[in-house]
Amino acid sequence: MNMIAPRRSRLVLVGNGMAGVRALEEILSRAPHEFSITVFGSEPHGNYNRIMLSPVLAGEKTFEAITTHPKSWYSENAIELIAGEAVIAIDRDAKTVTGELGTTRPYDVLLLATGSNPVIIPLPGHKLPGVIGFRDIADVETMIAASQSGKHAVVIGGGLLGLEAANGLARNGMDTTVLHIMPTLMERQLDPVSAGLLKADLETRGLKVITEANTKAILGEDRARGVTLADGTELPADIVVMAAGIRPNIALAKEAGLACGRGIQVDDGMTTSDPAIFAVGECVEHRGALFGLVAPLWDMAKVLADRVTKTAATDYVPAVTGTRLKVTGIDMFSAGDFMGDGNTDDVVFRDAARGVHKKLVIRDDKLIGAVLYGEARDSAWYFDMIRTGADISALRDTLVFGPSVGGGEAAGVETLPDTAEICGCNGVSKGTILEAIGKHKLTTVDQVRARTKASASCGSCTCQVEGLLAFALGGDYDATPKIKAVCKCTAAGHDAVRAAIMDKKLKSIPAVMRAMGWTTPDGCASCRPALNYYLLCAWPGEYADDSRSRFVNERMHANIQKDGTYSVVPRMWGGVTTAAELRAIADVVDKHRIPTVKVTGGQRIDLLGVRKEQLPEVWRDLNAAGMVSGHAYGKALRTVKTCVGSEWCRFGTQDSTAMGIALERMTWGSWTPHKTKMAVSGCPRNCAEATIKDFGVIATEAGWDLYVGGNGGIKVRVTDLLAKVATEDEVLEYAAAFMQLYREEAWYLERTAPWVERVGIDTVRARLSDAGGRKLLQQRFQESQHHAQTDPWAERAAGAEAHEFHALATVE
Amino acid sequence: MDGSMLVWMDIGHLNDIPRPGSRVVTTPGIDIAVFRTADDRVFALHDRCPHKAGKLSQGIVHGDSVTCPLHNWVIGLEDGQAKEPDEGCSRTVPVRLEDGRILLAVGGA
Ligand code: SRM
Ligand SMILES: Cc1cc2nc3c(=O)[nH]c(=O)nc-3n(C[C@H](O)[C@H](O)[C@H](O)COP(=O)(O)OP(=O)(O)OC[C@H]3O[C@@H](n4cnc5c(N)ncnc54)[C@H](O)[C@@H]3O)c2cc1C
Ligand code: SF4
Ligand code: FES
């Protein structure tokens, strides 16, 4: 039996935000099993990237996209997450914390990461509904809701947060005014000249900015209605956002008697006045300093993890930070001491026409601060000099022109030293990125992001990461090979393989691989399904389908779902059903306790959550009621959508429903290079969306217009007109010929839309307008259908491939 | 896993598994995917992709790897390791062939 494990130390984190969770990650990376961990968070979510709230407000990102740690992350790491309950008390003697709903947890080590609160200026009216700060997703939701019901917004505070809030509100259609008490915007990040440029830029985007504004009161009885200024100006406001600074959230720590100044005081090892309690993030005060940006928090998290896991006795050393404004289209950066004093020199560059202003502050041959406005692409180069204190005397003359001086556009990230910080949010240097690219053979920004976290937070360094990839990979970065090989097992392209199958009469996958010099013994998950399809298409009735080379859905004749269960979609010809069919479906659902029944986007019914071993029985019951596989799982003919057409609709010109059913009866069961969908609309109002289908038919007074090469999906493509015909028979003939041309000539996994784009609609039209060629294609299609139209469900319900549905053995 | 507590259990014949392919052995804990390669070697892994728990037994087997059916990660059968650029690992389970019978190590863990 298992030995009783030594009791693991209990670690409790209060504050489920950026710093706290980063500290947990650092701890887990050092000692994955040392602690049993509980996290309390007052917000009801997992952890998200708070700095990206601005793009969410501006409608550029979704909340889901900025969620960095969904609840599943906690369970995967065996962390207990108590979300939506704030901790209200720490008992340092008993070593427990207690939440507002009464949940109590003991700790051996306690981490406080309570962040900060927006400062709400106690003006008259500050407690009215409609007066909020800008700190969390709830605030963003309040702002978006306000923009839907009201028109006017006032933002108090013209710093980074205030301007990002104002930009977002304006993007949501609100008439927005920023009130700033100082003479210039963002005075803690910008010198007056760039602040002036920024104000002008914001005004051209429709924001109103009032500087030296002295707000007197917030108006309104039941909720905020407006704001008055000391000079008597009155501004209407449906929402008032206070962005006048932040204050460390120390109430809990103070109550527990920990040493606090403006923040929770910590030493260089992030320990509070109680050695069992550590603090990290914006709630701390370190050597008298407070924090408001993420970069220093990452450093703190590392030190804290070293100390908590006792892997090293590192110290937190404050570093210079840089700032960017996340307003799309405004390029700015500032870092260090950018105002200077009597002992510093300023180097200034200004190009008024382009709206560019750069100011560098130099002391004793060292760069100590910089402001870049209008063109900030060299920020990493300057920031590195500020951080490292490099001697710049040799560069001084050209410093302000950046690293690419004389070299035109050419120079960029490659000129930076390896120590240069590329991603400020996550503290990732050029050297780290290059090392990861080399070591792990990375070729895309996403891969770099996944490995190094560079550009994973605010994303403003994505360009530089791309630059490093291009630099590291040289010609390989965008060199596109001339022939698209089937996969990495071969250099041969799809057309060559298809030609060889026909010319050399190759009739099995191993034969193709041998003839074409495959480099792997039995291919891979990309080429095997492709070859299986090519052979099936080339030798109908002769080639024996290789189920081992089929993707799971096509092998199981059902769609695998994320939990490993399957979905079952019976065919519903042309989207038409009957009471008897619906009753049979209902019976199947009840009998097999199928959890979800859904109408699909393809006009039929999906039964979701069927377990593998249930499939044959479910199919048998559906078969008994006359229903067959809908091939919703296959690179095959899927649905034929129809509208009601002339039978019922007052605009219908032809019987589109019957036409759709005829098409589906003719084409069902056929395997195609990628999935194939059809639709028939009864008039040009096109209710069946025929113009975004692989084969679309639109009825007119005179007959039928045939369209091809459309799809919805990832990249929407509208069909091209193929032909106008008069009779139903012609529609069927064209449809069969088009399907066969596509089946014989497209590459595997190429839908009709990209195929038509590759070969050109004119080629397709020419091939199909030739009556002789069209008839031949139709005949080959019919021959292939002759072998293909057997219901795979019926075969399996009768016992075929039984091993797919049962376990090999069971261990009790 | 404590070697002394292993029990070799006969779970079936090699030909009960398609070539190349996989079948599942259910246990009170996690399901185990038993693989057969094109050259008749057998491997066993926890039937759980390191990515998002896809059932590896439902993937396409090629060489000595399996491609997960959910998002196409490629997992090495021998060591359970995901191939570059992905990272992660599925637990391997000792398995061997004796006269065509497949013996799987159970218990111990
Ligand atoms: C069930 C259904 C959603 C629904 O509940 O309505 C659905 C579900 C899936 N779609 Fe879809 N699509 C469904 C209608 C559509 C439609 C609408 C339509 O057909 O009119 C589209 C856009 C039209 C189109 O295809 O052009 C659509 C565009 C896609 C795409 C993007 C294709 C593209 O070319 O970009 C994919 C991805 C792919 O195929 O590679 C996809 C893939 C998928 C997969 C197969 C994802 C997967 O690989 O597991 C989903 C399977 C879920 C399942 O197990 O059932 N689904 N999918 C619909 C089934 C229709 C049916 O009765 O057969
Ligand atoms: C809109 C916006 C834009 C920003 N943009 C940038 C930027 O571009 N660059 C940059 O560097 N920084 C930016 N920041 C600042 C950055 O987000 C913060 O520095 C960072 O989030 C601080 O991390 P933290 O963990 O200390 O606090 P937080 O992320 O605020 O986390 C603290 C968490 O603790 C919870 N909590 C507090 N008290 C309790 C309690 N008693 N019990 C339980 N839970 C509690 C809070 O609800 C919160 O979820 C921005 C901030 C905002 C709001
Ligand atoms: S859109 Fe299609 S692929 Fe995407 S989640 Fe819905 S069903 Fe799945
Ligand atoms: S679960 Fe296996 S690749 Fe995603």
The pLDDT value recorded for residue A404 is 67
Q: CB distance from B94 to chain A under 8 Å?
A: no
Pick the closest to residue A319 from A384, A273, A260, A252 (CA basis). A384
Percentage of chain A beyond pLDDT 70 is 96
Beta bridge partners of A204: none
Which residue is it, tokens 């429903």? A657
Q: How distant is the alpha carbon of residue A17 from its chain centre?
A: 20
pLDDT reading at A222 higher than 80? yes
Quick one: pLDDT band at residue B109, thresholds 50, 70, 90? very low
B66 CB near ligand 4 (under 6 Å): no
pLDDT reading at A1 higher than 60? no
pLDDT reading at A795 higher than 50? yes
Pick the closest to residue A548 from B19, B65, B57 (CA basis). B19
- In A, which residues are within 8 Å of B104 by CB distance? 809, 811
Site to probe by mutation for ligand 4, drawn from B67, B68, B81 as the one with most ligand atoms within 8 Å of Cβ, is: B68
Beta bridge partners of B9: B104
CB A443 within 8 A of CB A473: yes
Cβ–Cβ gap A807/B20 under 8 Å: no
The pLDDT value recorded for residue A2 is 46
| Crossing angle between the packed helical segments A728-745 and A761-769, to the nearest 10 degrees | 130
Sign of CA dihedral A588, A590, A594, A596: positive
Q: Could you identify the atom of ligand 2 that is nearest to the CA of residue A43?
A: 47
CA distance A585 to A597: 9
Residue A522 C-beta-side C-alpha neighbours within 13 Å: 18
Quick one: pLDDT band at residue A480, thresholds 50, 70, 90? very low
**What average pLDDT does the segment A732-754 reach?**
96
**Sheet of A104-106: strands edge to edge?**
A87-91, A96-99, A104-106
| Crossing angle between the packed helical segments A445-452 and A462-473, to the nearest 10 degrees | 110
Q: CB distance from A552 to chain B under 8 Å?
A: yes
Quick one: pLDDT band at residue A599, thresholds 50, 70, 90? very high
Residues in chain A: 812
Cβ–Cβ gap A808/B28 under 8 Å: no
Pick the closest to residue A98 from A86, A108, A109, A110 (CA basis). A86
The pLDDT value recorded for residue A497 is 95
CB A226 within 8 A of CB A235: yes
The pLDDT value recorded for residue A479 is 35
Backbone φ and ψ for A251, nearest 5 degrees, come out as -55, -50
CA distance A11 to A27: 11
Backbone φ and ψ for A594, nearest 5 degrees, come out as -80, 125
Shortest-distance Cα residue to atom 9 of ligand 2: A293
Pick the closest to residue A318 from A385, A419, A271, A387 (CA basis). A387
- In A, which residues are within 8 Å of B13 by CB distance? none
Residue A628 corresponds to which tokens in the numbers above? 């067959």
Which residue of A490, A801, A811 to mutate against B (max B Cβ within 10 Å)? A811
Q: CB distance from A440 to chain B under 8 Å?
A: yes
Q: How distant is the alpha carbon of residue B16 from its chain centre?
A: 15
The pLDDT value recorded for residue A353 is 78
CB A175 within 8 A of CB A150: no
Tell me the helices (H) and strands (E) count for chain A, helix number first: 25, 39
Check residues A414 and B53 and name the one with the higher pLDDT. Answer: B53
Q: Which of B21, B31, B74 sits opposite A548 (nearest CB)?
A: B21
Site to probe by mutation for ligand 2, drawn from A42, A45, A50, A304 as the one with most ligand atoms within 8 Å of Cβ, is: A50
The pLDDT value recorded for residue A207 is 93
Backbone φ and ψ for A289, nearest 5 degrees, come out as -95, 150
CA distance B101 to A138: 61
SS3 A120: coil
Which residue is it, tokens 């870092």? A335
CA distance A500 to A503: 5
A567 CB near ligand 1 (under 6 Å): yes
Backbone φ and ψ for A208, nearest 5 degrees, come out as -100, 135
Percentage of chain A beyond pLDDT 90 is 70
Beta bridge partners of A23: none
CA distance A185 to A179: 10
User: DSSP code of A17?
Assistant: S
**Model confidence over A140-172: pLDDT tens digits?**
999 999 999 889 999 999 999 999 999 999 999
Position A360: which residue type?
L
**What average pLDDT does the segment A504-510 reach?**
94
Q: Using the mean position of ligand 2's atoms as its centre, give its distance from the Cα of residue A282 in Å.
A: 7
Beta bridge partners of B76: B65
A15 CB near ligand 2 (under 6 Å): yes
Beta bridge partners of B96: B103
CA distance B20 to B37: 5
CB A248 within 8 A of CB A263: yes
Q: Could you identify the atom of ligand 2 that is nearest to the CA of residue A135?
A: 53
Pick the closest to residue A438 from A476, A472, A464 (CA basis). A472
Cβ neighbours of residue A64 closer than 8 Å, sequence gap 6 or more: none
The four Cα atoms A553, A557, A558, A562 give a dihedral, to 10 degrees, of: -20
CA distance A18 to A47: 7
pLDDT reading at A711 higher than 50? yes
Q: CB distance from B106 to chain A under 8 Å?
A: yes
**Model confidence over A535-588: pLDDT tens digits?**
999 999 999 999 999 999 999 999 999 888 999 999 999 999 999 999 999 999
pLDDT reading at A407 higher than 90? no
Q: CB distance from B12 to chain A under 8 Å?
A: yes
Strands A596-599 and A605-610: antiparallel
The pLDDT value recorded for residue A472 is 84
Q: Which residue of A has its CA nearest to B27?
A: A811
Q: CB distance from B89 to chain A under 8 Å?
A: no
The pLDDT value recorded for residue A465 is 84
Site to probe by mutation for ligand 1, drawn from A606, A635, A642 as the one with most ligand atoms within 8 Å of Cβ, is: A606
A427 CB near ligand 2 (under 6 Å): no
Residue A319 corresponds to which tokens in the numbers above? 């570093």
Distance of residue A551 Cα from the nearest chain B Cα, in angstroms: 7
Cβ–Cβ gap A811/B106 under 8 Å: yes
CB A106 within 8 A of CB A96: yes
H/E segment holding residue A787: helix A771-788
B57 CB near ligand 4 (under 6 Å): no
Q: Using the mean position of ligand 2's atoms as its centre, give its distance from the Cα of residue A449 in Å.
A: 22
- CB-based burial of residue A139 (10 Å sphere; 0-12 exposed, 13-18 middle, 19+ buried)? middle
Q: Using the mean position of ligand 1's atoms as its centre, give its distance from the Cα of residue A655 in Å.
A: 27
Beta strands in A180-248 (DSSP E): 208-210, 215-219, 226-229, 234-236, 239-242, 246-248
Ligand located closest to A335 CA:
2
Q: CB distance from B2 to chain A under 8 Å?
A: no
Pick the closest to residue A282 from A326, A324, A247 (CA basis). A247
pLDDT reading at B45 higher than 90? yes
Beta bridge partners of B25: A809, B32
Residues in chain B: 109
Residue A320 corresponds to which tokens in the numbers above? 């210079």
CA distance A24 to A109: 12
Quick one: pLDDT band at residue A32, thresholds 50, 70, 90? confident
Q: Using the mean position of ligand 2's atoms as its centre, give its distance from the Cα of residue A347 in Å.
A: 36
Beta bridge partners of A178: A155, A209
Structural domain count, chain B = 1
Site to probe by mutation for ligand 2, drawn from A18, A117, A163 as the one with most ligand atoms within 8 Å of Cβ, is: A18
The pLDDT value recorded for residue A340 is 80
Mean of pLDDT over chain A = 91
Check residues A343 and A290 and name the one with the higher pLDDT. Answer: A290
Q: How many CB atoms lie within 10 A of CB A489?
A: 22
Beta bridge partners of A218: A227
Q: CB distance from B18 to chain A under 8 Å?
A: yes
- CB-based burial of residue A157 (10 Å sphere; 0-12 exposed, 13-18 middle, 19+ buried)? buried
Pick the closest to residue A540 from A368, A316, A787, A715 (CA basis). A787
CB pairs under 8 A between A and B: 95
CB A598 within 8 A of CB A769: no
**Model confidence over B56-106: pLDDT tens digits?**
999 999 999 999 998 899 999 999 999 877 888 999 999 999 999 999 998
Cβ neighbours of residue A768 closer than 8 Å, sequence gap 6 or more: A722, A723, A734, A737, A738, A741, A774, A777
CB A34 within 8 A of CB A76: no
Q: Residues 603-662, chain A: which have Cβ within 8 Å of B?
A: none
**Domain span at residue B24?**
3-105
Whole-complex ipTM: 0.66
Percentage of chain B beyond pLDDT 90 is 75
Which residue of B62, B86, B87 to mutate against A (max A Cβ within 10 Å)? B62
Beta bridge partners of B46: B32
A599 CB near ligand 1 (under 6 Å): no
Quick one: pLDDT band at residue A482, thresholds 50, 70, 90? very low
The pLDDT value recorded for residue B108 is 52
Residue A809 corresponds to which tokens in the numbers above? 């053995």
**What average pLDDT does the segment A391-399 reach?**
85
Which residue is it, tokens 């007074």? A701
HEC-encoded secondary structure of A348-365:
EEEEHHHCEEEEEEEECC
The pLDDT value recorded for residue A411 is 43
CATH of the domain at B66: 2.102.10.10
The pLDDT value recorded for residue A442 is 84
CB A437 within 8 A of CB A470: no
- CB-based burial of residue A74 (10 Å sphere; 0-12 exposed, 13-18 middle, 19+ buried)? buried
**Model confidence over A43-102: pLDDT tens digits?**
999 999 999 999 899 888 888 888 889 898 999 889 999 999 999 999 999 999 999 999
Pick the closest to residue A30 from A304, A294, A281 (CA basis). A304
**What average pLDDT does the segment A477-491 reach?**
69
CA distance A89 to A92: 9
Backbone φ and ψ for B22, nearest 5 degrees, come out as -155, 150
